[in-house]
């Protein structure tokens, strides 16, 4: 084997290795099922980030989390292992904040943040840990990884499945990952039902009132 052939084979091997590590068949994103109108409302950051990325040959991932949990949702500071957030001054004409917000996410509200490549041959990789303020402090995490070569990988982990379910959508050539957190109807109803099932006279104040009435009569 000539040195040239040897180098070629080594290069091919490296390329195969990179491809095989970046493709996870379980989380391959193939769908593009979000109805999209350029830069309106909640998809504005996603659209903007994608345009900026295309212009710069960069990778991009926009995460949108929709709160239909019935509770406030908060998150820890969002961590980027690779890349940076899209900022106000990344685009001349649109004044829009595509960084994570610090206020709690109220019901029916969507939080969107976009991350983009920050170095040559870089990818985008991050994690966001959320808490549903339901008294039990249910937590879950979103992960995203857009490698330099290979398809993007998005994941949700840890959502308490007995109370909540997630609805996941991918859009804009898989640069947008939208997760909606719902509370199961039967869980919501169960909370209401408890108050119907427990008769009021089981509550101590009523018992005291009841007893004191008997005594005074």
| Half-sphere exposure for 155 (CA within 13 Å, toward CB) | 15
Binding site for ligand NAG (CB under 6 A): 67-73, 103-107, 109, 133, 156-157, 159, 161, 166, 168
For ligand NAG, give the closer residue by CB, 122 or 143. Answer: 143
Measured distance CA(102)–CA(77) in Å, rounded: 8
Report which of 203, 63, 67 is spatially closest to residue 143, judged by C-alpha positions: 63
Nearest distance, CB of residue 20 and ligand NAG, angstroms: 25
In whole angstroms, the minimum distance from the beta carbon of 161 to ligand NAG comes to 5
Asked if 93 contacts 39 with a C-beta cutoff of 8 angstroms, the reply is no
Residue placing its CB nearer to ligand NAG in the complex, 52 or 144: 144
Q: Which of 130, 131, 133 is nearest to 143 (CA)?
A: 130
Residue pointed to by tokens 């000539």? 2
Shortest Cβ 67–ligand NAG spacing (Å): 4
Q: For residues 68 and 91, which CB has a smaller minimum distance to ligand NAG in the complex?
A: 68
Rank residues 22 and 109 by Cβ distance to ligand NAG and give the closer one. 109
CB 168 within 8 A of CB 181: no
Compute the least distance from the CB of residue 182 to ligand NAG, in Å: 8
Task: Give the shortest CB-71-to-ligand NAG separation in angstroms.
Answer: 5
Give whichever of 103 and 185 is closer to ligand NAG, judged by the CB atom.
103
Separation between Cα atoms, residue 46 and residue 175, nearest integer Å: 7
Q: Which is nearer to ligand NAG, 106 or 191 (CB)?
A: 106
Q: SS3 of 142, please? A: strand
Whether 151 and 174 have beta carbons less than 8 Å apart is answered as: yes
Q: How far is the CB of 135 from ligand NAG (least distance, A)?
A: 9
Position closest to ligand NAG via CB = 106
Structural contact between residues 105 and 72, judged by C-beta atoms closer than 8 angstroms: yes
């Amino acid at each position: 084997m000539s040195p040239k052939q040897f180098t070629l084979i080594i290069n091919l091997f490296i390329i195969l290795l990179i491809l095989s590590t970046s493709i996870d068949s379980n989380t391959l994103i193939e769908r593009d099922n979000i109805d999209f109108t350029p830069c309106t409302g909640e998809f504005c950051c996603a659209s903007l980030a994608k345009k900026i990325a295309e212009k710069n040959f960069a990778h991009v991932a926009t995460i949108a989390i929709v709160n239909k949990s019935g509770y406030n949702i908060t998150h820890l500071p969002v961590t980027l292992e690779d890349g940076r957030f899209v900022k106000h001054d990344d685009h001349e004409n649109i004044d829009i904040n595509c960084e994570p917000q610090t206020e709690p996410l109220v019901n029916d509200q969507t939080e969107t943040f976009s991350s983009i490549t920050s170095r040559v041959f870089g990818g985008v990789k991050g994690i966001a840990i959320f808490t549903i303020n339901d008294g039990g402090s249910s937590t879950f995490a979103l992960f995203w990884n857009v490698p330099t070569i290979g398809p993007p990988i998005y994941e949700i982990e840890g959502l308490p499945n007995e109370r909540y379910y997630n609805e996941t959508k991918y859009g804009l050539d898989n640069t947008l990952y939208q997760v909606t957190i719902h509370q199961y109807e039967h869980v919501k109803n169960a909370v209401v039902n408890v108050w119907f099932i427990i008769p009021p006279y089981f509550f101590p104040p009523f018992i005291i009132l009841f007893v004191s009435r008997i005594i005074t009569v």
